[in-house]
Amino acid sequence: MSDVLVFSRFDNPNSLAVVSAIKSAYHVPVLMEMDDLPMEINIDSPAFQQYRRDTMMSNSGANAAYWSLKHIKLSDGVFTTNHYLKAKIQKLVPRKNVHIMPNCVDVKNFKKHKTKKTGLINIGWMGGSNHTNDLEVIKEPILYILKKFPNVRFNTFGFQPEWTKQEKHCIHHTWVTFDKYYEKLNSINLDIGVAPLVDNEFNRCKSNLRVLEYSAMGIPTVASRVVPFQDIRPNITGYLAKDKGEWVSHLSALITRSKLRERIGNNAYNTVKRNNNPDKWARYYHKIFNFYAVKYARSAKDLS
């Protein structure tokens, strides 16, 4: 039997019952990983009907937010990716142990981009359908850029927003299985990444994973000026944009200046390689796991 069990968020009663039974039967600590907060999902999100933020009562058993909260309470500790989300969790469940564990990426899984001097420039976004409203943030800027620069293509990987389907300079790449993910991502050959987010409570709890993946490819990112992307250093590792004018300005500069793309892309690559290296953070994981394993071993001994 394992000394520590780690689960991603459960949002249904059956899964929660299994975890609870294992914890009780084997007296083993249960840790939980979270990179967003379903209780804060917006009413206009495609997933709202599943999570139903309007109620925290599980009358029908379908309220995923209710069961997620139950999972937090059951867990002995929670891993999360940013301080804003940590504070929200501790407000929901005071005195809960919450550990900050930044996202990690292994740069060896990514093909480092070679900066083009001329030719097509590929701007890229990747994500799921829950980002429908976030993509509206860049709709006008991207359409403007595509008209202004005939050599630019906008690539979507995963979900395809409606406004891109009739644009001849928009290219869509469908989801692939996880074992093909890095191969597919590398094959798109992106030059610039975009990370738009509406500034709301749910998105403030999100992580910066997409920016880290762009950085691991050695390309610059233009991202919304929101909490998850606050580590971006403007004009050094990327750019932050708050309105259409800033999106257009930053993208235009990166499109027309290959040396700027190269400088910021290299800075971003070196930063993520240094700060988000899995080998570096594995030591912290080991320390936390050992803490809970020892704590529960002592507790089990007291019960015997």
Domains, the chain, ordered by start: 5-104+277-303 (no CATH), 107-275 (3.40.50.2000)
Q: Give bridge partners of residue 80 from the DSSP assignment.
A: 34, 100
Helices (H) and strands (E) in the chain, counts: 11, 10
The answer to whether 1 touches 26, Cβ cutoff 8 Å, is yes
Placement of tokens 């692939």 in the chain: 176
**Residue 265 to residues 8, 37, 197, 216, 284: CA-CA distances in angstroms?**
32, 31, 21, 9, 28
Could you say which DSSP state residue 31 is in? E
Element (H, E) at 5: strand 5-8
pLDDT recorded at residue 9: 81
pLDDT recorded at residue 226: 96
Give tens-digit pLDDT for 40-68. 877 777 666 666 544 544 444 457 788 88
pLDDT recorded at residue 60: 47
Taking alpha carbons only, the member of 198, 177, 205 closest to residue 34 is 205
pLDDT recorded at residue 62: 52
**Residue 244 to residues 4, 73, 141, 291: CA-CA distances in angstroms?**
47, 42, 6, 48
Which residues of the chain have a pLDDT value below 70? Answer: 1, 46-62, 298-304
Its sign, for the CA torsion 184, 186, 192, 198, is positive
Record the tokens describing residue 153, joined without a space: 């293509």
- Cα(71)–Cα(7) distance, integer angstroms: 10
pLDDT recorded at residue 58: 46
pLDDT recorded at residue 262: 97
Could you say which DSSP state residue 234 is in? B
Give tens-digit pLDDT for 110-163. 999 988 878 899 999 999 988 999 999 999 999 999 999 999 999 999 999 999
- Cα(224)–Cα(128) distance, integer angstroms: 17
Taking alpha carbons only, the member of 101, 209, 194 closest to residue 155 is 194
Placement of tokens 């580590």 in the chain: 231
